[in-house]
């Protein structure tokens, strides 16, 4: 075996050992307890067709009911996923909607329409793997019509 071959062999071994070692440094995948009285459905009128879109395209990152896929157990994917879900929950959490002040809830509804209209949500890295989460133009219109109707209803 040539010198380069030996170096490459040891490099592969070292990378393999490092990959196995980092599997023990996993972040916590959490699904905090859900208080049914705080859910978005408990505070807004969410028709079934809107709930279906939210469940399919938003729920995993924007609620405490994340469905963690098998690859969320594998580092470094788990680092990315946990960080993404934590950030998504901080920005908008359907499981904690009842904790929002009225003006904050109004702003979140406005932002929801803006984000899906600008095709910022759901993010590409999510829809690449979860193809069914991609929003159609009809889905976007449905969500925006609903958010605007809820804003108007809450303004009364």
pLDDT tens for each residue of the chain, 156 residues long? 788 777 777 777 777 766 676 667 677 888 999 999 999 999 999 999 999 999 999 999 999 999 999 999 888 889 889 999 999 999 999 999 999 999 999 999 999 999 999 999 999 999 999 999 999 999 999 999 999 999 999 988
> Rounded to whole angstroms, what are the CA distances from 155 to 46, 52, 148?
17, 25, 11
Q: Rounded to the nearest 5°, which phi and psi values hold at 44?
A: -125, 160
Report yes or no: 108 and 135 within 8 Å, Cβ to Cβ. no
Helix (H, G, I), strand (E, B) or coil at 105: helix
Peptide bond into 35 cis (omega under 30): no
The predicted model scores a pTM of 0.84
Cα angle vertex 8, ends 6, 11, to 5°? 110
């Amino acid at each position: 075996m040539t010198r380069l071959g030996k170096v490459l062999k040891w490099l592969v071994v070292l990378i393999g050992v490092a990959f196995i070692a980092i599997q023990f440094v996993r972040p916590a995948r959490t699904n905090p307890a859900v208080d049914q009285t705080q859910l978005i459905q408990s505070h807004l009128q969410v028709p079934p067709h809107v709930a279906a879109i939210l469940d399919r395209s938003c729920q995993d990152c924007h609620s405490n009911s994340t469905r963690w896929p098998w690859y969320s157990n594998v580092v470094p994917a788990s680092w990315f996923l946990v960080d993404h879900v934590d950030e998504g929950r901080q920005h908008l959490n359907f499981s904690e909607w009842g904790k929002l002040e009225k003006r904050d809830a109004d702003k979140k509804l406005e932002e929801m329409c803006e984000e899906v209209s600008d095709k910022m949500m759901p993010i590409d890295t999510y829809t690449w793997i979860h193809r069914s989460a991609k929003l159609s133009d009809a889905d976007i219109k449905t969500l925006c019509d609903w958010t605007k109707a809820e804003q108007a209803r809450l303004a009364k």
